[in-house]
Amino acid sequence: MLGPNLFANYGEAVAIILFGIGFSNLLLQKNLIKKIIGLNIMDTAVYLYLAEKGYIDGRVAPIVTNGVQEVGAYINPVPSGLVLTGIVVSVSVTALMLSLTIRLYRRYHTLDLDEISTRLKKEGL
Amino acid sequence: MKRKDNAFFRWFFGETDTMLGRVEMRPQQEYTETASDIREVMQDSLTQDQTGDEEDFVLIRVFHRLYRVAAVFFCVALIAVLLINVSWLPKNGGADNPVNNEVSARYIESGLQETGAVNIVTGMILDYRAFDTFGESNVLFIATVTVLILLRLDKEKKAPAKKGMPVYQRPKDELTIAQAQSRDRIYEPKNNVILQVVAGFLVPILFIFGIYVILNGHLSPGGGFSGGAIIGAGLILYLNAFGFEKTERFFTEKTYKWVSFFSLTFYCLAKSYSFFTGANHLESGIPLGTPGAILSSGLILPLNICVGLVVACTMYAFYALFRKGGF
Amino acid sequence: MLDWIRFIVGAVVLLLGLAAFALEVFGSYRFSFVLNRMHAAAMGDTLGIGISLIGLIIFSGFNFTSLKLFLVLVFLWFASPVASHLIARLEITTDEDLEQFCEIRK
């Protein structure tokens, strides 16, 4: 069942474990801020995974040095661009979630999600 | 400007909300929290374990325990499945992996000739896939706008809402910006000497480094996003050390508006021109320059500057909005 | 021979830095009061980063990379203690029952 390359792909394995940690934070924490932190951990895991996918042994970052333009000299530049996109989107999403949390806190004076949902039920929404 | 009696123009100038009453939506009730409400919340959270019927309570506890067990089980199962997947992936770092296909080969082989950028990643994201980056800048801008909608406070207290007033014209039932600022000053480390000395030393260095990273985006690692984030960090540090009076001399809402507007418009127009000429096999007339010089690689340098400005303004705007509800 | 000595010295210094980090993590979980935990975290951060970067400088020798590492070290030693100081100050101004735990000189 287990394939041959688990220990060769240790970077990806660490990324997967980080993803799981973030996901369990998302499921198990009640505090909204901690949920957001969990989502950020998941983001970071995805970046790590992409960066690991783009790496090739013994090659350097894709910046042309000394006019060398062979494919064999540089790592894959595409995942780096994807990571850049991901970081920007993650910043925006985090800001949006935090501002929504601030609004919730101003109205309910708590960050506990259970508390907020019981109060919502009390208000009949 | 003459206002027309058109429904669209009336909506555009903010006189009526054309959707009001037609779609099913309730305007949010104005929520005023009395002292007893707050006390009730406190009581609830203190005595949460004793409230509710006994059977309900047992059921809820069973549910919570089951939920936690199921969540942990699900996470472990997810990690296990994904790890098995990883173990079957090709070895990390191999040159023949299917990730390294002809796309990246093409970028590496002819990126320098076609875009003029020494940094292949910058050439990729600001030339081949420039509209993608334009979308990213717009995502940042839209995020700022939504945070502005959610957190902005009024400059001064407006008159209380009348009966037939549309929702969007009602004053928010919140603090004004001056009240928020005076409240903020209670907790803020006011005129902290340690912070001010360090900020006076670090802020110029941060600005210079950020500008260097932006201007060298096509020559070295970095570019608009990272350099803009560095400059934004410098602005936030300056704000923290010297307060809003000092930063509002050069950065207000108006500055944000115009800087974002000009950067995004310039980006859109420049890249549209470049793609239009490229798609029709016309000469764009933008020189690529010698690779490795600062003034080279055509449109990449101005686009990097635009992106950097947008990112720096966005970072500062996020911080100011979270802190005070306006800037 | 000289390379080996440099390698061993660098490795020892780097391991010392990692030990400082480990102590920091241990301390910030072991203590219960906020300012104690912050003390552990801030001290461990500054010391651990300093020692680790010195180890890396010894590894890389005397060249441009080590100059960059040294600049990173200077920046972090400016920024990190100030950040900890500000957080501690915020804790002091916002915590209402601080007098129960420690003595405040005003």
For B13-57, what is each residue's pLDDT tens digit?
767 666 666 665 555 555 666 666 666 666 666 555 445 555 667
**Chain A residue numbers touching B109 (CB-CB < 8 A):** 69-71
**Chain B residue numbers touching C77 (CB-CB < 8 A):** none
Give the Å distances, CA to CA, from B28 to A125, B5, B170, C3.
Answer: 11, 29, 11, 72
Domain range enclosing C26 = 2-100
For chain B, counts of helices (H) and of strands (E): 11, 0
Q: pLDDT tens digit string along B206-263?
A: 999 999 999 998 888 888 899 999 999 999 999 888 888 888 888 888 889 899 999 9
B224 or B154: whose pLDDT is higher?
A: B224
Give the three-class secondary structure for A60.
strand
- Per-residue tokens: B43: 């009581």
Tell me the C-alpha distance between B127 and A66, whole Å.
22
Residue B100 pLDDT > 70, yes or no? yes
- Give percent above pLDDT 90 in chain A: 42
Q: pLDDT tens digit string along B62-99?
A: 888 999 999 999 999 999 999 999 999 888 888 888 88
Tell me the C-alpha distance between A75 and A73, whole Å.
7
Whether A43 maps to a domain, the answer reads yes
Q: Cα-flanking dihedrals φ and ψ of residue B189, to 5°? A: -65, 95
Whether C87 maps to a domain, the answer reads yes
Which spans in B125-176 are helix H?
130-151
Whether C69 maps to a domain, the answer reads yes
Cα–Cα–Cα angle for B246, B251, B252, rounded to 5 degrees: 105
Using CA coordinates, name the residue in chain B closest to A119: B41
Whether C25 maps to a domain, the answer reads yes
- Per-residue tokens: B149: 């909608």
Q: Cα-flanking dihedrals φ and ψ of residue B97, to 5°? A: -60, 150
Whether A3 maps to a domain, the answer reads no
pLDDT band for position C106 (50/70/90)?
low
Reported ipTM: 0.88
Whether C105 maps to a domain, the answer reads no
Whether A32 maps to a domain, the answer reads yes
Mean pLDDT across the stretch B279-303? Answer: 81
Q: Do chains A and B touch (3 or more CB pairs under 8 A)?
A: yes
Domain range enclosing A43 = 10-123
- Check CB contact of B110 with chain C, cutoff 8 Å: no
Give the three-class secondary structure for B296.
coil
- Per-residue tokens: B147: 């945070």
Tell me the C-alpha distance between B195 and B220, whole Å.
32
**Which of A12, A17, A72 lies at the smallest CB-CB distance from B79?**
A17
* DSSP state, residue B158: P
Could you tell me the CATH number of the domain that includes residue A65? Answer: 1.10.287.3510
Which spans in chain C are helix H?
2-30, 34-60, 64-94
- Per-residue tokens: B96: 């023949």
Closest CA to B14 of B138, B170, B139: B170
B236 or A125: whose pLDDT is higher?
A: B236
- Which residues 6+ apart lie within 8 Å of B65 measured at CB? none
Q: pLDDT tens digit string along C20-63?
A: 999 999 988 888 888 888 888 888 889 999 999 999 998 888 88
pLDDT given for residue B25 in this prediction? 57
**Which of B186, B187, B194 lies at the smallest CB-CB distance from C82?**
B194
Chains that touch C (3 or more CB pairs under 8 A): B
Number of domains in chain C: 1
Residue A35 pLDDT > 60, yes or no? yes
- Per-residue tokens: B257: 């508006």
pLDDT given for residue B241 in this prediction? 87
**Chain B residue numbers touching A29 (CB-CB < 8 A):** none
pLDDT band for position A120 (50/70/90)?
confident
Whether A47 maps to a domain, the answer reads yes
CB contact under 8 A, B104 and A78: yes
Give the Å distances, CA to CA, from B242 to A95, B91, B109, B192, B208.
Answer: 24, 53, 50, 9, 19
Number of domains in chain A: 1
Determine the distance from the C-alpha atom of residue C77 to the mean position of all C-alpha atoms in its chain, rounded to a whole number: 8
Tell me the C-alpha distance between B202 and B206, whole Å.
6
User: Token pair 């608009």 is at which residue?
Assistant: B224
Mean pLDDT across the stretch B283-293? Answer: 78
Give the three-class secondary structure for A63.
strand
pLDDT given for residue A72 in this prediction? 81
Whether C26 maps to a domain, the answer reads yes
Tell me the C-alpha distance between C32 and B227, whole Å.
39
pLDDT band for position A95 (50/70/90)?
very high
Sign of CA dihedral B309, B311, B317, B323: negative
Inter-residue contact B146 to A99 (CB < 8 Å):
yes
Whether A5 maps to a domain, the answer reads no
Chains that touch B (3 or more CB pairs under 8 A): A, C
pLDDT given for residue A48 in this prediction? 94
Give the Å distances, CA to CA, from B318 to A82, B126, B232.
Answer: 24, 25, 10
Residue A6 pLDDT > 80, yes or no? yes
Q: pLDDT tens digit string along B162-212?
A: 666 665 555 555 667 777 766 666 656 567 888 889 999 899 999 999 999
